[in-house]
Amino acid sequence: MSGNGRMERVAVYGLGYVGKAVAAVFLRAGFHVVGVDVSSSKIMELNSGVVKYAEEEVREAINKGLREGRFKATADGVEASRECGVKIVTVPVHLKSSGEPDFSSLASAVEAVGFGAEEGDLVVVESSVPPGTTLNVVKPKLEEASGLRVEEEVLLAYSPERVYVGRAVKDIEERYPKVVAGVGPKSAEAAALLYGKLARRGVLLMSSPTAAELEKLFEGVYRDVNIALANELAMLASAMGVDYAEVREAANSQPFCHLHAPGVGVGGYCIPVYPRFVLYSASRMGLKLPLTELARRVNLSMPGFTSDLVETVVERMGVVEPKVAVLGLAFRGGVDDTRFSPTYDLVDHLLKKGFEDLIVHDPYVERDVKLEELGVKLTGDLGEALEGRDVVVLATDHPEYAQLTLQELLNLSGGSRLGVVDGRLLIRDWRNPPFGVVYAAVGRPLVARL
């Protein structure tokens, strides 16, 4: 670190789930951090100590940083760049409706970084991006805005975030080596030195930013393809009257088998997006990746398949104009992240099938604009969500749902009959339902006791 302390000051661009976690890790390591975001409400909240994040370590680190004068949030990305010698960019690359990547937000952040950059500064992109982005989008934009030559006067590296929302701090600090690649040896050395102060598992230095960009995307494609396989095999097991979870547990006792869990769909900003980046890059190279594309289609079909299960249960019960409760809006259990949640598609399918009396429950999500636009109520009160309901769909694997039994669900509904569609294989007593319950699942046979 330089004597003037400039390299001990870090600007983090983008204060979403990943950006706040990255800021927290640098704060925990003793750095001064300036967080940059375009949202004025988020900036006001953070500067007042309101950290909307499910991870305790992030809340504690940011609030401690505020108290010690080592953290502040701002909308002025140029000034933040002037103040800090290290700039970490976590601003996402979005997908256009055409399926092509939208680099505008990333380019805007890099431009602000460049306008405030000084000779010797280090810029690191952590956003998940199409391969080639660091060299072909970020590098020219940074040089244009700063007037500095990358690698000779300003350093540039790519280091993909590899975090699981809800445990991001431990992922960065303890669980994984930090993948790093520089545009040249100077940049690589500076980035490796920086992240060596954070990651206890060390730094995994790769040959080029493009290789590191592909590494990150391939992680997501691997999971997407394997989840699609799990969904297909779960549907077969269900049709044959077999419990997929039982088969999966036995199959995975073989060390070369790693069957994933099936479900209502795949959400979050990682797995649904990364295959699209890969397919986009493949198309530009004149290649087709049919397996990657098919996996996306399979996983996108699961909310519709789940809504079909609801129809099957309703027909078996003989209920007219059923009232349906969907448990879980977040894309994954234990977090409040609703980005690309399959619950949205599930709700859309149910509405189109004529299930107009819907309510969604989530213990973590306080408000949701999309549901409001659809006229669907969101509640954090499980009793309110289930009271008077005819059908319950478990859409998210929140820990609060994992302990529920069919009898408890029936009791909370207050009725004599209840249909349960288990989209996450959470119900343990499904083989012996209480009288009045019809149970169906993604990966289990239908069981009815009427």
Q: Is 216 a catalytic residue?
A: yes
CB atoms within 10 A of CB 402: 13
DSSP strand pairing (437-441 vs 444-449): antiparallel
257 annotated active-site: no
386 near 379, Cβ under 8 Å?
no
Between the alpha carbon of residue 46 and those of residues 16, 334, 414, the distances in Å are: 12, 22, 42
**What is the sign of the dihedral through the CA atoms of 334, 338, 343 and 347?**
positive
> 178-182 and 155-158 as β-strands: parallel, antiparallel, unpaired?
antiparallel
Beta strand extents in 159-295 (DSSP E only): 178-182, 203-205
Q: How far apart are CA 226 and CA 233, in angstroms?
A: 11
Identity of the residue numbered 162: R
Per the DSSP assignment, residues forming a β-bridge with 157 are 124, 182
Q: Is the dihedral of CA 100, 101, 104, 110 positive or negative?
A: negative
Q: Which residues contact 187 (CB under 8 A, 6 or more apart)?
A: 122, 150, 151, 155, 156, 157
Token pair of 82, please?
A: 């002037």
Alpha-carbon span 27 to 345, nearest angstrom: 38
Coil, helix or strand at residue 118: coil
CB atoms < 10 A from the CB of 261, how many?
A: 17
Catalytic choice (84, 87, 270, 323) = 270
Reported in sequence order, the residue ranges of 216-370 that DSSP labels E, i.e. its strands, are 324-327, 358-361
Q: What are the distances in angstroms from CA 179 to CA 25, 29, 386?
A: 16, 18, 46
* Token pair 């590899």: residue: 162
Residue 155 parent element (H or E):
strand 155-158
CA-nearest of 195, 55, 67 to 122 is 195
Q: CA 354 → CA 304, 350, 388, 390, distances in Å?
A: 14, 6, 18, 15
Catalytic residue among 96, 216, 288, 370: 216
Among 133, 158, 131, 155, CA closest to 143: 155
Q: How far is Cα of residue 33 from the mean position of the Cα atoms in its chain?
A: 24
Q: Which amino acid is at 414?
A: G
Task: Identify the residue whose tokens are 């990651």.
Answer: 199
Any idea which residues carry the catalytic annotation?
Answer: 216, 270
